[in-house]
């Protein structure tokens, strides 16, 4: 899986795969917006867009918050 | 004393929650953009297997498949992901592109010059930039995609 993050303010996109990442600067053109895309050359290659990949990030945040709340609760008990 | 500590804990938790919520909203994590491969804005040799899955067919040659809507509608920071389901050739690229430029070139791609409309990374580690010579048609990363029958 390749995750792509686009920062519109910094005009920079980041490609991430596992622990590796690569940054690429981009420019905007008035009247010609940017769209996600795939580019092929050979036959029978397939690319899938993953619409729900973000959900794990939300879970990570909530687990972290739960852990933090347990920590504070234990401190308060002491 | 215990009540006072619990109140302090609750206060800190509320502050952390607000901080996380701000961070989430900034990154637009809650807003799911329903990107789909366009049945219109694609090369004729691209087959839509579903809204989120495309396949190249018929003949070799560069061919774009564009998704909709545009990225700028998804907020300050847009994030999305692709999975290379099949790449026997070690040449598939993903990223984003200027639709009008790509359409004007009939969904083809001239890799040797800038102005092709794309900002992408390809299976062989290549970087492709519409605007910068030093980030176009050059290997910038280790090979990310396995070359044969990969599913990443």
Q: Which of A5-19, B12-26, B54-68, B84-98 has the highest mean pLDDT?
A: B54-68
Structure tokens at B2: 């215990």
For the question of whether the overall pTM of this predicted structure is more than 0.90, the answer is no
CB contact burial B76-98 (16+ within 10 A = b; e otherwise)? ebbbbbbbbbbbebbbbbbbbbb
CA-based nearest distance B113→chain A, Å: 15
The Cα–Cα gap between B71 and B57 comes to: 27
Q: Quick count: other Cβ atoms within 10 Å of Cβ A29?
A: 14
- Alpha-carbon distance B97 to A37, whole Å? 6
- Each residue of B98-141: pLDDT tens digit? 999 999 999 999 988 999 999 999 988 899 999 999 999 888 77
Cβ neighbors of A41 (< 8 A, separation 6 or more) are B56, B60, B61, B62, B63, B89, B91, B92
DSSP-based three-state secondary structure for B52: coil
User: pLDDT category, B150, cuts 50, 70, 90?
Assistant: very low
Q: Which residues of A touch B30 (CB under 8 A)?
A: 58
Query: Which carries the bigger pLDDT value, residue B29 or residue B53?
Result: B53
- Among B93, B141, B71, smallest CA distance to A18 is for B141
Collect all residues of chain A within an 8 Å Cβ-Cβ radius of residue B99. Answer: 32-35
Most confident among A29-43, B65-79, B137-151 (mean pLDDT): A29-43
């Amino acid at each position: 899986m390749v995750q792509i993050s686009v920062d519109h303010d910094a005009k920079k996109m980041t490609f991430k795969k596992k622990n590796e990442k690569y940054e690429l600067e981009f420019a905007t053109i008035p009247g010609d917006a940017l769209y996600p895309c795939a580019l092929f050359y050979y036959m029978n290659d397939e690319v899938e867009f993953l619409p729900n990949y973000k959900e794990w990030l939300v879970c990570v945040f909530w687990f972290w918050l739960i852990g933090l709340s347990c920590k504070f609760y234990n401190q308060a008990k002491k | 004393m215990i009540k006072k500590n619990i109140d302090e804990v609750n206060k800190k938790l509320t502050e952390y929650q607000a901080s996380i919520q701000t961070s989430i909203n900034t990154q637009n994590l809650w807003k799911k953009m329903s990107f789909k491969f366009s049945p219109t804005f694609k090369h004729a040799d691209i087959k839509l297997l579903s809204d989120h899955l495309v396949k190249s067919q018929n003949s070799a040659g560069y061919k774009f498949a564009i998704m909709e809507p545009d990225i700028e509608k998804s907020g300050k920071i847009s994030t999305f992901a692709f999975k290379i389901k099949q790449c026997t050739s070690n040449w598939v690229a993903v990223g984003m592109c200027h639709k009008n430029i790509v359409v004007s070139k009939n969904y083809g791609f001239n890799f040797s010059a800038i102005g092709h409309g794309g900002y992408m990374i390809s299976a062989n580690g290549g970087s492709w930039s519409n605007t910068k010579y030093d980030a176009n048609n050059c290997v910038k990363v280790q090979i990310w995609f396995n070359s044969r029958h990969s599913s990443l």
